[in-house]
Structure 1
């Protein structure tokens, strides 16, 4: 499986170049949608998210894929979740939410579908930050 995942990662990244996926305009659009989603969160959640950045990366890093992470994932929450941050030493890696813009753009060419999927992906990863698992996400319609 890992060998195939790595091949998918390589082929998709190569195809991005030919398809023109991931322009600065594309990235600005996704970042703007993400900012709007975060802005409309209830205040109690915004405050708890604290300094958890949302970053854009083209596709998952090779080291993640080598560990079995899906190369076509749309997002990722990394780091300690909200409940574990209080006990983490300052030297620990910070939490962050990653949006994989090339994967989003490759799967959702329609602007409205892309906007909706960016919103779902952000909310999904925020859910992980607050301790929800994949079953919880499915019940909430965030899968």
Structure 2
């Protein structure tokens, strides 16, 4: 790549990561996404301090994503008044750091993190999540 080409390259924005997450979610099997009704997906640069403390992270780069809410195995279908919706956070800067240090595409990383976090909603095993990720392409 030439110096001029490099000068035009910018880091993916929050909106770019959100677009990748939306595309990844749309590619998931319908039987999987149908059970995610009401799930909110947010993209932030980093986890907040409270989350870092709760997850016992040593660095703000330790966490790529997080599911918070009530999973299906915990009765997610039973909504309670005042309860927050099930949410997934995807953390842009840690994912970019992981991407820069590895061989996977950013799209593959976003898909992997999204499937893994949705998997927590379902109470899935790592093998289950790998199968869903494989089917999503």
TM-score, normalization by structure 1: 0.70
Indicate the structure whose relative CO is greater, using CA pairs within 8 Å and at least 6 residues apart.
2
Q: Where do 5+ consecutive residues of structure 1 fail to align?
A: 1-21
Deviations 1:10-53 (A, max 9, x none): xxxxxxxxxxxx96x42222111111111111222221111101
Q: State the alpha-carbon separation in 2 of the partners of residues 86 and 140 from structure 1.
A: 21
Over the residues paired in the alignment, what is the CA RMSD in angstroms? 2.4
TM-score, normalization by structure 2: 0.73
Q: Is 1:92 the equivalent of 2:79?
A: no
SS of the aligned residue for 1:127 comes to helix
In structure 2, relative to structure 1, the CA distance for the partners of 1:36 and 1:68 (3 Å cut) is closer
Q: Where do 5+ consecutive residues of structure 2 fail to align?
A: 1-9
The structure richer in helix per residue is 1
Q: State the alpha-carbon separation in 2 of the partners of residues 85 and 36 from structure 1.
A: 24
SS of the aligned residue for 2:47 comes to coil
SS of the aligned residue for 1:85 comes to coil
**Would you say how many aligned residue pairs link Structure 1 and Structure 2?**
117
Q: Shift in Å at residue 92 of structure 1? A: 1.4
Q: State the alpha-carbon separation in 1 of the partners of residues 40 and 128 from structure 2.
A: 26
